[in-house]
Amino acid sequence: MSSKLQPARGTRDMIGADARRHNAVADTARRIAGLYGFEEWFTPIFEDTRVFSRGLGDTSDVVAKEMYSFEDRGGESLTLRPENTAGVCRALVTNGLTQSLPQKAFYAGPMFRYERPQKGRYRQFHQIGCEILGAAEPLADAEVIAAGWQIIQSLGIAEGVVLEINTLGDAESRDAYRAALVAYFSAHAEQLSADSKTRLEKNPLRILDSKDAADRALVEGAPLITAHLTAGAAAHYAAVLRYLQGFGVPLRENPRIVRGLDYYSHTAFEFVTDRLGAQGTVMAGGRYDGLVEEMGGPPTPSVGWAAGMERLALLMEDAGRTPAAARPVAVVPMGDAAETPALAALQALRAAGTHAEMAYRGNLKRRLERANKQNARAALLVAEDGGLQWKDLDAGTQVAVSLAGLAGLQ
Ligand code: ATP
Ligand code: MG
């Protein structure tokens, strides 16, 4: 090997505290999502490219620039999933679940996007997400958001995180808004970035989501959707805001939110923080009433969100919420002849659900040093005659115990 092997650019290992935070995010999210009736769905990590890329109308950066697509040995075009909403919708149709709606899906897993790596932005990253499929009611929008907010609260990172919400209206609202945007941006076309000039022709709403500084300055003065909403779209949005108040979710309206993917309509929202620099969006989503149909299913109004697990984990670290490493009980045989009875004690502890470990070798002193290094909460000293002493390493106390009594020592 000529040079040292490194993880591929934009990927990272998660070990120790990193892994514990990652698991805490997944476990907490799964538990809270369960309280709202979401069941976990597992969809494949790679899919037919058409699941994500649905024709020339697709102008989002994710689909246009960031996908890991490849031809496999059979000549099929496959893509590593850049997000999981499309996969969930595909799975809904594939599994005939459009016959039993609504469905509530939770997922957690890796996603892949070819973008410039930086803090909180990777090429392999992980998302948790919740989707309510087959519910047009604004109460569904509010409930899925409430679940997201409870997850953020349960992770202990709610401070400084705020829900920003907007509506993109229905098709009619958006047509009217699109015309207003085209008029506005066309009048300033020479100031637009090259990308946004293309967006102006294909999907002017995309310009609102541009990260280019010159574009951002223009976007400041762009017309708002609010003036172009149909009565129905305005009523849906007003109901979502009302229900969110009912659920007790604090929010800030932000008429600039459009979302990174093309399939959204009506509600669009982001949970944002100023604690992660440029990567301030931790959770984002909205209503996507047309997506299931694009997968070949019947019209199935749906709403959901996805959150970057790395960004949630960074906030946990920031808030001092990193879960502590588990503290074992160190089983310490006192002499070679104590090793066999020590194994029985070790397994009695494990059978009782206690995290217990025994070093593979070493004298009494070494083993006690190792117990300290592992931050063991107790040492179980095992004599050659099988006698047991429980030494509480925090309190420094020591008591005789029996093998049968170990189960009660939790
Ligand atoms: P951004 O504007 O930050 O690029 P996005 O609009 O592309 O985000 P979504 O597609 O809505 O993001 O994904 C939902 C969430 O997933 C984001 O809010 C973010 O927390 C996370 N996320 C997206 N891309 C990445 C990435 N490359 N690395 C880490 N997390 C990411
Ligand atoms: Mg992005």
Strand ranges inside 298-377, DSSP E: 302-308, 329-333, 356-357
Q: Which residues pair with 362 in a beta bridge?
A: none
Q: How far apart are the first and last CA of the chain?
A: 50
In the chain, ranges of CATH 3.30.930.10 domains: 17-170+230-318
Instruction: Using the predicted structure, report yes or no on whether residue 260 has a pLDDT greater than 90.
Output: no
What pLDDT, on a 0 to 100 scale, did the predictor assign at position 110?
98
Mean pLDDT within 377-394: 96
Distance CA 146, CA 273 (A): 17
pLDDT band at 410 (very low <50, low <70, confident <90, very high): low
Any idea which architecture 17-170+230-318 has in CATH? 2-Layer Sandwich (3.30)
Region of 320 please: left (phi>0), alpha (psi -120 to 50) or beta: left
Distance CA 360, CA 209 (A): 57
CA–centroid distance, residue 159 to ligand 1 (Å)? 20
Segment 355-376, tens digit of pLDDT: 999 999 999 999 999 999 999 9
Mean pLDDT within 323-335: 97
Instruction: Using the predicted structure, report yes or no on whether residue 59 has a pLDDT greater than 90.
Output: no
Segment 266-297, tens digit of pLDDT: 999 999 999 888 889 999 999 999 999 999 99
Q: Look at 2 and 191; give whichever has higher pLDDT.
A: 191
Measured from the alpha carbon of residue 284, the closest ligand is 1
Distance CA 267, CA 78 (A): 31
What pLDDT, on a 0 to 100 scale, did the predictor assign at position 209?
84
CA–centroid distance, residue 308 to ligand 1 (Å)? 6
Instruction: Using the predicted structure, report yes or no on whether residue 379 has a pLDDT greater than 70.
Output: yes
Measured from the alpha carbon of residue 268, the closest ligand is 1
In whole angstroms, how far apart are CA 245 and each of 29, 36, 154?
A: 22, 17, 19
pLDDT band at 318 (very low <50, low <70, confident <90, very high): very high
- DSSP secondary structure string, 358-373? --SS--HHHHHHHHHH
Q: Find the farthest-apart pair of alpha carbons in the chain and give their distance in angstroms, rounded.
A: 92
Helix axes 17-35, 138-154, angle to 10 degrees: 140
For the chain, the average pLDDT equals 94
Closest CA to 150 of 272, 33, 24: 33
Q: Look at 41-50, 120-129, 150-159, 218-227 and tell me which has the smallest mean pLDDT.
A: 218-227
In whole angstroms, how far apart are CA 390 and each of 109, 129, 165?
A: 42, 45, 56
Closest CA to 309 of 168, 157, 195: 157
Closest CA to 205 of 240, 178, 170: 178
Cβ neighbourhood burial of 81 (10 Å; 0-12, 13-18, 19+): buried
Any idea which architecture 329-409 has in CATH? 3-Layer(aba) Sandwich (3.40)
Residue in the block written with tokens 């063991």: 376
191, containing H or E segment: none
Note the pTM of the prediction, 2 decimals. Answer: 0.94
pLDDT band at 205 (very low <50, low <70, confident <90, very high): confident
Pocket (CB within 6 angstroms of ligand 1):
62, 83, 113, 115, 120-122, 125, 127, 260-261, 279, 281-282, 284, 306-308, 310-311
CB 291 within 8 A of CB 266: no
Mean pLDDT within 87-95: 98
CA–centroid distance, residue 226 to ligand 2 (Å)? 25
Distance CA 124, CA 342 (A): 44
Protein residue with its CA nearest to atom 24 in ligand 1: 121
Strand ranges inside 185-264, DSSP E: 251-253
> What token pair was written down for 144?
């899925």
Distance CA 312, CA 293 (A): 32
Measured from the alpha carbon of residue 85, the closest ligand is 1
Dihedral angle over CA of 143, 145, 147, 152, nearest 10: -160
CB 108 within 8 A of CB 154: no
What pLDDT, on a 0 to 100 scale, did the predictor assign at position 57?
61
Distance CA 232, CA 238 (A): 10
Distance CA 305, CA 267 (A): 11
CA–centroid distance, residue 138 to ligand 1 (Å)? 25
> What token pair was written down for 137?
């009611």
Segment 209-258, tens digit of pLDDT: 888 999 999 999 999 999 999 999 999 999 999 999 999 999 999 988 88
* Pocket perturbation via mutation, ligand 1, pick of 125, 131, 257 by most ligand atoms within 8 A of CB: 125
In the chain, ranges of CATH 3.40.50.800 domains: 329-409
What pLDDT, on a 0 to 100 scale, did the predictor assign at position 282?
97
Mean pLDDT within 13-28: 98
Residue in the block written with tokens 């401070």: 159
Residue in the block written with tokens 């799975």: 91
Instruction: Using the predicted structure, report yes or no on whether residue 262 has a pLDDT greater than 90.
Output: no
What pLDDT, on a 0 to 100 scale, did the predictor assign at position 251?
97
